[in-house]
Each structure stands twice: as C-alpha cells, then as structure tokens.
C-alpha cells in the first residue's frame, strides 16, 4: 500500500515525509482493516514530525483523523461489518486495567497507544485498529467533512465539557482553528455566548459569521468577563491573556498537547479561585457523544483538501497559518 512515512524528525520545510510502498496491515483478533478514504491533518502531526514531541516509533506513518470503510474483520469482531463507514482518532488502545481506566479516565491510561504516534496512522491507504476504537460515523457529512470531528471535534468537545460553563455562561475561545470553530457551534447549540480571540482578521470574521458575540486579538480586553476560556493556541503567552479575562471563580482549559512555557504568570491572575485544567487525549465516551451531538447542533466543518502525496505541503501551510480551513488528505 502507499503511505507517507516519517523516518527522521525534521523541520517540515525539509519535507521529511516520504511516499513509500509498505506492507498492507493484517487485522488481528478483534481488529478491523479499514480502507482509508480521508485523513485530517493536525498540529499534533506537525509536533511529531518536527520533533517537538519525542519519537516513540520510527519509521512512522502519522495521522489520527482517519475516515474509511471496513474492508476485512479479524476473528471475534462482533459490532462492525464489511462496508461500515468508521472513524479512527488519536486514542488507539487502552489497557482497561490500570487505575485510570478503572476510574473511567482511559484518556490517562498508563499503557495507552496513540494513532499516528505509537502505532502507524492514517497517512496511508489502510489501517488495522481494534474494533472498539473504530467509531461509526454520522451521515450528512462527506468523508473529508467528517475527518476534523475526529480530533478538533473530540478534543474540543472534551475541553468544552471540562470548562464547566454555568447555564447561559460566557465562553472565550483563544485561537480559532479546526477545534475552536467546532466548539463555537456546539457552545451556541447549548445556549452559551462565545467570544473569540485570534490574531487573524479573516478568522475573526469567520467567528462572527458562525455566531460569535465578538471577535478580536488575543491581547485585546474582552468586552465582558468570561465564565470559562479554552486556549487552542500552542503559545504560553495566550494562556496568560486568557486568565486576564476570567471572572472570579472562572476556569481556564488548555487544550493543546504541546505549549511553549507560560511565563510571567502572576498569582493575582489565579486569585479569587480561578482554576486551570488541561486536556489530555479523550475517552471513547467523548467521541461517541461528540459524533452524536455534532449533527444535532448542525456543526459544519470547512476543509481544504490535499492529495496523500501532498502531506508535507499541507503541514507546511498549517505551520505558516496558510490553511484556509481544516486540512484533509484525500486518500481515495
């Protein structure tokens, strides 16, 4: 099969992903083989490729927003059949027995495996995954449109839940990429007001079109104090700006897997019982809930489509903020 393979972590401008012929995976017991149709690209992929996240497996096929069709099933697969359209996200497998799994926090599993990081991912024609981590996808979305729900959507939804907004609460979104534009639509569906902070005038305008009460630069003061804020930018200084706009007792949620140091954080910004939470991965429950809520909320995604062989170019556009929407590789 064809796949974009990372053999050495390098700056994306050096085009470290190479199109290669690699063996087609064979599904093991309780696994399904998926013929991939599309795979979203993500900033986490960029962190892996460029080495901001330490290598776990090399060579590696990145990608963790996988959309495809079940082509083959291994022994003892019970819930999925050939022809089912499914999605695969970042969480590839959890042990089910560590203290975190037993507490319903499989996202913190001590032995978890992650798609496109500790196991080969979706920048390829096929992937084999445990059936319990392949999610049936809602209708009404094309393969390319549904792909962003599998990372930006799921992580954003978990961040939204962790924000613990009061009824009709006010939410601030700092950074307005794939995850934030999905969260804005979900927050509006649940009756919240949303204020968006992004450096891009184009994305400020998009936020307003999607129903934001206000959109401005992250260093601007919010017109109203926020009950909660979610930071989707990998920059520590943005977290400080978000704290400045929180109400007493407000909550800040950091939704990035990687962030530059948070410097010059004054205690007065945390005083009055403000709190900080981080998002680490997601649970299967989060994914199932999000894939149910998104069509009910009328969530729409905007995508920019690339060929599989153009993965380097797509990630470079993501890094340089040249993407007009969520980047997706069309595999078939």
The structural domains of the chain, ordered by start, are 2-141+301-330 (3.90.180.10), 153-278 (3.40.50.720)
pLDDT score for 145: 97
Task: Give per-residue pLDDT as tens, 42-76.
Answer: 999 999 999 999 999 999 999 999 999 999 999 99
Which of 146, 25, 138, 37 is closest to 92 using CA atoms?
25
Instruction: Check: CB of residue 156 under 8 Å from CB of residue 43.
Output: no
d(CA 188, CA 196) in angstroms, rounded, equals 13
Which of 200, 261, 250, 195 is closest to 228 using CA atoms?
250
d(CA 179, CA 248) in angstroms, rounded, equals 26
Task: Spell out the residues 6+ positions from residue 183 whose beta carbon is closer than 8 angstroms to its own.
Answer: 156, 157, 159, 160, 171, 173, 230
* pLDDT surpasses 90 at 321: no
| Exposure string over 283-296, b if 16+ CB within 10 A, otherwise e | bbebbebbbebbee
DSSP assignments along 234-266, one per residue: S-HHHHHHHHHTEEEEEEEEE--S------S--
Q: Please state, for a pLDDT cut of 90, what percent of the chain lies above it.
A: 96
pLDDT score for 324: 79
The H or E element that residue 289 is part of is: helix 284-296
Q: 136 falls in which pLDDT band (50, 70, 90)?
A: very high
Q: 308 falls in which pLDDT band (50, 70, 90)?
A: very high
Helix, strand or coil, per DSSP, at residue 325: coil
Mean pLDDT for the chain? 96
pTM confidence score: 0.93
Q: Any idea what DSSP says for residue 34?
A: E
* pLDDT surpasses 90 at 41: yes
Task: Spell out the residues 6+ positions from residue 219 whose beta carbon is closer than 8 angstroms to its own.
Answer: 241
pLDDT score for 269: 93
93-118 average pLDDT score: 97
Would you tell me how many other CB atoms lie within 10 Å of the CB of residue 320? Answer: 10
């Amino acid at each position: 099969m064809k796949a974009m393979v990372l053999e050495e972590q390098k700056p994306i401008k050096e085009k470290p992903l190479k199109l290669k012929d690699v063996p087609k995976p064979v599904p093991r017991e309780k696994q399904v083989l998926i013929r991939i149709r599309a795979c979203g690209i993500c900033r986490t992929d960029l962190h892996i490729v460029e080495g901001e996240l330490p290598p776990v497996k090399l060579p590696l096929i990145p990608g963790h927003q996988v959309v495809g069709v079940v082509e083959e099933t291994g022994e003892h697969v019970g819930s999925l059949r050939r022809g089912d359209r499914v999605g695969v996200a970042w969480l590839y497998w959890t042990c089910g027995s560590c203290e975190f799994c037993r507490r319903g926090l499989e996202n913190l599993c001590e032995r978890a495996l992650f798609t496109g990081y500790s196991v080969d991912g979706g920048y390829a024609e096929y992937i084999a995954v445990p059936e319990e981590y392949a999610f049936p996808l809602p209708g009404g979305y094309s393969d390319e449109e549904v792909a962003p729900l599998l990372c930006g959507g799921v992580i954003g939804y978990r961040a939204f839940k962790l924000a613990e907004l009061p009824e009709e609460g006010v939410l601030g979104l700092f950074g307005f990429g794939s995850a934030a534009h999905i969260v804005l639509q979900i927050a509006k569906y649940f009756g919240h007001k949303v204020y968006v902070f992004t450096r891009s005038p184009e994305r400020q305008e998009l936020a307003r079109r999607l129903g934001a009460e206000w959109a401005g630069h992250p260093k601007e003061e919010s017109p109203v104090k926020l009950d909660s804020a979610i930071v989707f930018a990998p920059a520590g200084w943005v977290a400080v700006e978000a704290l400045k706009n929180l109400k007493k007792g407000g909550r800040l949620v950091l939704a990035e897997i990687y962030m530059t140091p948070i410097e010059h954080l004054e205690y007065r910004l945390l005083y009055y019982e403000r709190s900080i939470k981080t998002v680490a991965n997601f649970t299967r429950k989060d994914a199932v809930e999000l894939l149910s809520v998104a069509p009910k909320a009328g969530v729409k995604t905007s995508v920019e489509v690339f060929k599989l062989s153009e993965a380097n170019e797509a990630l470079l556009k993501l890094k340089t903020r040249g993407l007009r929407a969520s980047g997706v590789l069309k595999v078939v």
